[in-house]
A and B are shown apart, each in its own frame.
Chain A
């Protein structure tokens, strides 16, 4: 696969790159994903990780569980765009983004971002930018299950 191909967000990628941007139902292992990023380059000297998990309160109300829905195809495309922009704009070495869909229990993993860079400053910056951007441009929706019923969440938390 040429470099040109893997830098185009419109094109689904295969192989190692495809594993670095995923939307999946099943849970993920942080250790395994961390190994995947570390294996990309021996130049990595700083790694920042963001893990989003399901909390039991939202806007002062109890939440029993969450269901995430995504737009298959467009969600992956937007996450690939985020990875490529992060690699280009922050001078980092690798960025992994995973987001789960389907029913998520309280306390369970939802989203994982791992930024690997030569130094910590770029890793932190890229990781924060990536999760903020994910919330803005990725077609993923959250249904909160509460004792009073189900609510589609509108605002960015």
Chain B
């Protein structure tokens, strides 16, 4: 199982859960994780497909081929909107 932290609109689309615990039965790369999320949360999956939501692993934006390891800090990042100028 891996834990995926959610923020902003991804949290809202997952019923206001702050994190998801997901099993990765078919591979441990970021793209396998994305496939599991797409199946369980199609609206988040759509945003991931459009690259409007990015996956971070250990606080860096992750490539789809990156392997996810136990204990990694994984998050889904919607478009940033800090600053407000």
Contact = CB atoms under 8 A, between A and B. Distances in A.
B82 A135 contact: yes
A52 B52 contact: no
A103 to B, nearest CB: 14
Interface string B1-42: 000010111001000000000000000000000000000000
**DSSP class of A's interface residues: helix, strand, loop or mixed?**
mixed
Contacts, number: 83
A74 B56 contact: yes
A155 B81 contact: yes
B62 to A, nearest CB: 12
A154 interface: yes
11 contacts: A52-B83, A71-B5, A74-B75, A77-B59, A110-B83, A139-B80, A154-B52, A154-B79, A156-B80, A157-B81, A157-B84
Interface of A: 50, 52-55, 66, 68-71, 73-74, 77, 99, 110-111, 131, 134-143, 152-157
Interface of B: 5, 7-9, 12, 52, 56, 59, 75, 77-85
